[in-house]
Structure 1
Amino acid sequence: MNYYANFEEHLGAVVDSVKKMLYARHKDIFQRLDFYNDDIYLEPLLYTYLQQQDNKWLDSIIYGYEQSRKPLIAVFPNSNGLIYLPNTGYLRTSFTGSSLMLRTTGNTMTLLDGENEIPFTFEPILHSEHGIEIVTDHHPLLMNVFTEQGNHPEDIHVSGLHLQHLASFNKGMHIIRQLNPDHFGLLLKNLKKVMLFTATQQNSFSVLSAHNMIFLHVNPWDDEIFFADHISHEGAHVTYFTLTYETKQQLFTINYNTPLGDLVGNPGHYPSVYLFFHGMFTFMEITKTLQGCIDLTGLTTMQQHDVKGRFIFHMQRFKLSLDMFAELNLFKEEGAAWYALFLAQYEAFEQQYNSLLPLYNLTGQPYDFNSKVFAEINS
């Protein structure tokens, strides 16, 4: 199965679906947006917009993509007074309300609160060295992806984190390009935005309701190994959402949304069959990168141990998932082909995994591997 070769077809299917959903809500949408510019329809906030029913958000999301901009639209500052306009930039204000009007005359933008002009400073969009946008503050429409996990809005922090972590993010991407170039190529096609955050109740994640974007929970000590791991992980979720967007019902003999816990006698403990299956694709791409890191030159002694700990951590979870699905007999032909691919990748690294396993203690690890916990136990 060479999923790298036909990725463009799957990506096109996702784009076509977004176009259809936008047209169903806005019959004039292709008078405003270039129908043939598929990059527009990879905008993560369009997916978020389509998951909710309030049309008020559309103008500000597509402002930077429109062929001819509306002269007056509503815009929505976040709690820091920052207005994010995709494909345009940020308007930083001290405004504490929930909405303003943006008037555009030629290349001049004016913010209005009623008839009063609101001063702002313009901040350009930030990109990584490889062209992926780093979203530097939160957006009101994205708050639900955090709060639905039990976070309070005041516990979610995004602003300024890129200043500390961008260099390590770029190094992590360089590692993926060097050690897993095929998946790196898919990431450049599919991964459009990254948000770095801290929160009390949430790990790194990606969601279909903000497709083509990943959210990375960072700690002060996280380095390029962390980013190589987590970009591979969450980026692979984005990739697999695309690869199976049209065919996920063809993977299993049961509905793909069936909770896995119901099938293994542990209701409420696991996500859907499809999302758990997703995990094996991520483990495949993560372990390719981390296994290559084991012999990577230029790492500190601590990083060398960290890489091995992460490799063991993900291989353990990889094996758990493989064993669980092996007992369930749920696959249609396509699902069986994917499972065979996952199993072959695990077996390619199994001997090395078994040789490293006795050397490290992974006790106390949370859901996402934590370098600080690992170093304290294995010092």
Structure 2
Amino acid sequence: MNLINQDKIKETIKLLLLKEAPLLLKEIDFNHKDAFLEPLLFTFFNYKTEEKWSSELLTEFMQGYFLKNQNLQINSSHYLNNIAYLPYLGYFTEDNPELFEQIHIIENTSIEILKYPIYFHNNIFRNKQNQIINRKEIIVTNSLFQKNISYLTNAINLIKENSPKYFGLINQCCKKIVLFKTNPANTNSFATIKAHGIAFINVYQDDYDEVFFVDDIAHQAGHIILTTLFFDKKKIFKINEEHKVEEITNQKDHRTINTLLHALYTYYTTILCLDNCLKNKVFNNKQKKESIARIGFYLNKCNIDLERFEQINVFFKGIENVLNSDGIKFYLFIKENLLIFSENWLPTISTFNYSNQPYNFTFEHFNKLNH
């Protein structure tokens, strides 16, 4: 899978920086692999008008990418607990110019785990009505980090060891992970182009372990990878990808065609990673049961979504009228693999009862109906 679109994303960011703060470009190390893929850049340019953010703030959080070390300027980045986060440099407190805490990167990866709330993310956490969620309802703390970091680290290593090709894509596209906790009625785990490169993972259930993190990392990183691949949507879609599914299928489905294709890809990536872990027998008995249950849960969903995408193809009188050649190859690859997964797992999952499941898979609920 070719990630050449990262170059197009970098060029777009460079043009935005040239317009916003041309002198800043002279300070930045153009050879730094992440300088123009820094997720905070996407947030800044998406919300700078709404929030009236200045170019000085932009310069402040880009200091970790400068060619030369300079005296740090931290005037506006402090947030909750008076902690400021500067990418690549670390965390700083308001009353002390010295480093408060280093950043945390998963060993032998490029993936950073954020430990504290970040000034820019207040706009990112939104409910289904696209309203900003009260920050008191979004928990991002060092204690939440400490509770989950071993499970998260183990899960990333499991993906790396058992699904190495897919991990290569994750490592290239997923720059950071935010662990947060909130009622899923507020929001689920997510990834958004407005903080492109960050996987936001909602750890609201207390019994989450490696299985959940393999699942959700594979899922949210899948969105980030696909956003990268689909940066130039005209190479993928022939039709308006923002068409609502329900307008075509006459079924209650508020998603766009683009979102539906994202869903199909993330079913594939999630099942792929869980399936490979099961093949290599890396889980204990409880984790094995949960992994198989999750695979069945997603296969039930993906079969419905495959049917809906086929309805879209029929509506437009053929897939060649929906997708360009790159898009067709991509869709057929996903479809073929999902059908293989379905065939392989159907004998096992066909007896499972999912009638008590909420939107997010809950193993406790599954266990009550499937002993």
Matched-pair contact (CA < 8 Å) for 1:32–1:66: yes
State how 1:258-273 maps to structure 2 within 5 Å. Answer: 258-266=243-251, 269-273=253-257
Match of 2:316 in 1: none
Report whether the alignment pairs 1:228 with 2:214: yes
Equivalents in 2 of 1:36, 1:24: separation in Å? 20
More divergent stretch after superposition (60-69 vs 304-313): 60-69
Match of 1:174 in 2: 157
Equivalents in 2 of 1:166, 1:320: separation in Å? 34
More divergent stretch after superposition (221-230 vs 120-129): 120-129
Deviation (angstroms), 1:72: 4.2
Match of 1:102 in 2: none
TM-score by length of 1: 0.86
Q: How many residues are matched?
A: 349
Equivalents in 1 of 2:73, 2:163: separation in Å? 46
**Of 195, 201, 226, the match for 1:240:** 226
Equivalents in 2 of 1:191, 1:34: separation in Å? 21
Matched-pair contact (CA < 8 Å) for 1:59–1:74: no
State how 1:357-368 maps to structure 2 within 5 Å. Answer: 357-368=349-360
State how 1:69-218 maps to structure 2 within 5 Å. Answer: 69=70, 72-92=73-93, 110=97, 122-129=100-107, 130-149=109-128, 150=131, 151-159=133-141, 160-200=143-183, 201-218=186-203
Equivalents in 1 of 2:113, 2:191: separation in Å? 15
Deviation (angstroms), 1:197: 0.5
Instruction: List structure 1 segments (4+ residues) > 4 angstroms apart after TM superposition.
Output: 70-73
Equivalents in 2 of 1:297, 1:338: separation in Å? 30
| 3-state secondary structure, aligned to 1:294 | helix
Equivalents in 2 of 1:372, 1:131: separation in Å? 34
Deviation (angstroms), 1:185: 0.8
Report whether the alignment pairs 1:59 with 2:59: yes
1:315-369 CA deviation, whole Å, 9 max, x = no partner? 1222222111111123333322221111110122222221122232222322222
Matched-pair contact (CA < 8 Å) for 1:51–1:209: yes
Deviation (angstroms), 1:286: 1.2
More divergent stretch after superposition (40-49 vs 323-332): 323-332
Gaps of 5+ in 2: 314-321
TM-score by length of 2: 0.88
More divergent stretch after superposition (14-23 vs 73-82): 73-82
Match of 1:19 in 2: 14
Over aligned residues, Cα RMSD in angstroms?
Answer: 2.1
Equivalents in 2 of 1:122, 1:143: separation in Å? 22
| 3-state secondary structure, aligned to 1:90 | strand
Equivalents in 2 of 1:29, 1:260: separation in Å? 43
Matched-pair contact (CA < 8 Å) for 1:270–1:276: no
Match of 2:262 in 1: 278
| 3-state secondary structure, aligned to 2:326 | helix
Percent identity over the alignment is 24
Report whether the alignment pairs 1:253 with 2:238: yes
